[in-house]
């Protein structure tokens, strides 16, 4: 996208889990408790709070939503994504199921999904073959759950303490010969068709809005193509990409880990987004200044 001309808006795309929002286990809070940041819960499931960002990050995200075309990008299913209640203006576009669905004002774009299905049918072995391989090879000793998502890809929930890394490497080799990729993210092992990418859906959204500059952030191997497709990107100091030492010339490796990194990413995105005049109460200036470091 770096060669795309245009006078359109800045597009700010970000992965969600462990990039902008964090479970209690992933917060990585440091220092004394009395100095801990105030947290805002943005996801509840079955009456239990699941995901958080800091109150400071909530304010930054609200500002970003007024100054750029903010696009949440996630491997979550549409149902899982809709549990999240992000601060700021409702995003006009969202990308779910690792690029399998583009939501427009909260509704699935059926034409995009049809194009994705045609591509997968032409280039990858069927999901059923992968699911059967996982069923036959996963050890019940470390396997906790086996799931499919949106009839597009599969994932396992495993016990990390007993899960053998060698098994994931063997699965990656098997899947690669059949047009699929493998990613290990915490307790989840994903098997995803190689053409099912966040970057392809991002390129479609950027084309539709005639974006003049694309920003992106993400932490996992499934975000690598998203970051490579952007003009400017950031990755946290945690996650698969950090562990692998993954780098690209236009992607900044941030030192922050955990929920504080969500704040840093939003500050960096705001520095690349134009100041937008926003109406305020009579006699008061619009809150257009970039938040400080």
Tens of pLDDT, residues 89-122: 999 999 999 999 999 999 999 999 999 999 999 9
Q: How far apart are CA 206 and CA 93, in angstroms?
A: 10
The pLDDT of residue 2 is above 50: no
The two tokens of residue 51 are: 């995901």
Give 266-282 pLDDT, tens digit per residue. 999 999 998 864 444 44
More confident: 240 or 7: 240
* Per-residue model confidence (pLDDT) at position 282: 43
Run of H or E residues at 223: none
Instruction: Report how far residue 266's alpha carbon sits from residue 57's, in angstroms, rounded to the nearest whole number.
Output: 7
pLDDT of residue 1: 53
Tokens of 9: 């808006």
Domain boundaries along the sequence of the chain: 10-117+196-272, 124-193
HSE-CB at 221 with a 13 A cutoff on CA atoms is 17
Q: Which CATH number does 10-117+196-272 carry?
A: 3.40.50.1000
Distance between CA 76 and CA 125 in Å, rounded? 22
Burial readout 128-140 (b: 16 or more C-beta within 10 A, e: otherwise) = eebbebbeeebee
Q: How far apart are CA 152 and CA 98, in angstroms?
A: 9
Dist. CA 170–CA 190, nearest whole Å: 13
Q: Tokens 């427009």 label which residue?
A: 104
As a whole number of Å, the end-to-end CA separation of the chain is 28
Do residues 268 and 235 make contact, with C-beta atoms less than 8 angstroms apart? no
pLDDT band at 5 (very low <50, low <70, confident <90, very high): very low
Q: Tens of pLDDT along 255-264?
A: 999 999 999 9
Render pLDDT for 47-104 as a digit per residue (tens, 0 to 9). Answer: 999 999 999 999 999 999 999 999 999 999 999 999 999 999 999 999 999 999 999 9
Q: How confident is the model at residue 192 (pLDDT cuts 50, 70, 90)?
A: very high
CATH number belonging to the domain at 124-193, selected among 1.10.3470, 3.40.1130, 3.30.1360, 3.30.450: 3.30.1360
pLDDT class of 7 with cuts at 50, 70, 90: confident
């Amino acid at each position: 996208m770096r060669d795309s001309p245009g006078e359109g808006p800045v597009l700010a795309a970000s992965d969600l889990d462990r990039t902008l929002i964090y479970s209690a286990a992933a917060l990585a809070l440091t220092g004394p408790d009395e100095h801990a940041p105030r947290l805002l819960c943005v996801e509840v499931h079955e009456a239990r709070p699941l995901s958080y960002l800091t109150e400071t990050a909530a304010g930054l995200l609200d500002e970003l939503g007024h100054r750029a075309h903010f696009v949440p990008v996630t491997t979550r299913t549409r149902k899982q994504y809709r549990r999240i209640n992000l601060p700021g203006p409702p995003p006009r576009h969202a990308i779910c199921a690792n690029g399998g669905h583009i939501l427009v004002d909260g509704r699935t774009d059926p034409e995009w999904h049809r194009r994705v299905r045609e591509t997968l049918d032409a280039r990858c072995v069927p999901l059923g073959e992968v699911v059967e391989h996982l069923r036959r090879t996963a050890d019940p000793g470390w396997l906790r759950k086996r799931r499919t998502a949106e009839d597009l890809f599969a994932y396992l929930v495993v016990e990390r303490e007993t899960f053998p890394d060698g098994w994931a490497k063997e699965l990656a080799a098997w899947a690669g010969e059949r047009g699929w990729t493998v990613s290990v993210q915490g307790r989840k092992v994903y098997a995803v068709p190689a053409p099912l990418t966040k970057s392809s859906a991002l390129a479609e959204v950027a084309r539709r809005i005639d974006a003049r500059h694309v920003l992106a952030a993400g932490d996992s191997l499934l975000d690598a193509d998203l970051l490579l497709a952007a003009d400017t990107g950031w990755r946290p100091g945690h996650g698969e990409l950090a562990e692998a030492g993954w780098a690209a010339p236009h992607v900044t490796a941030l030192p922050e880990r955990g929920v504080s990194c969500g704040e840093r990413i939003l500050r960096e995105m705001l520095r690349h987004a134009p100041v937008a005049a926003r109406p305020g109460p009579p006699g008061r200036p619009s809150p257009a200044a970039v938040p400080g470091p």
